[in-house]
């Protein structure tokens, strides 16, 4: 009987302590994953228009990354979406102004 109790105590101890393995790490929350995915999408869209980026798009992406670090995932996702749409609008603007040159009054 004593041996059974000792074996049970050892089994319980090993089970509860996890045999010295690393502690369980929970996967990131869905909100965090969504925010990080939105930031990655905004970065990719901004990189796609190399040389034609708008002034504030990079600043907005950095602000979104800072919000993720603070744990404000919804706000970070909102900022990343804003940066994405700025990058897409900059892409459209760059396509419409290809070969436009300078206004004629500059040459007068």
Query: Is 19 domain-assigned?
Result: no
Q: How many domains does the chain have?
A: 1
Query: Is 2 domain-assigned?
Result: no
pLDDT in tens, 78-89: 999 999 999 999
pLDDT in tens, 43-99: 999 998 887 888 899 999 999 999 999 989 999 999 999 999 999 999 988 888 877
* Backbone Cα Rg of the chain: 27
Query: Is 33 domain-assigned?
Result: yes
**Segments forming the whole domain that contains residue 89:** 28-96
Q: In which region does residue 8 sit, left (phi positive, over 0), alpha (psi from -120 to 50) or beta (all else)? A: alpha
Do residues 64 and 79 touch, judged by C-beta distance below 8 A?
yes
Identify which of 60, 59, 62 has the alpha carbon closest to the alpha carbon of residue 79. Answer: 60
């Amino acid at each position: 009987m004593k041996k059974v109790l000792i074996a049970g105590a050892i089994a319980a101890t090993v089970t509860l302590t996890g045999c010295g393995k690393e502690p369980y790490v929970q996967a990131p929350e869905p909100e965090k994953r969504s925010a990080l995915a939105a930031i990655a999408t905004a970065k990719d869209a901004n990189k796609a228009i190399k040389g034609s980026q708008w002034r504030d798009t990079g600043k907005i992406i950095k602000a979104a990354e800072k919000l993720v670090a603070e744990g404000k995932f919804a706000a970070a996702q909102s900022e990343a979406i804003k940066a994405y749409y700025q990058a897409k609008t900059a892409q459209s603007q760059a396509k419409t102004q290809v070969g436009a040159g300078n206004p004629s009054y500059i040459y007068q």
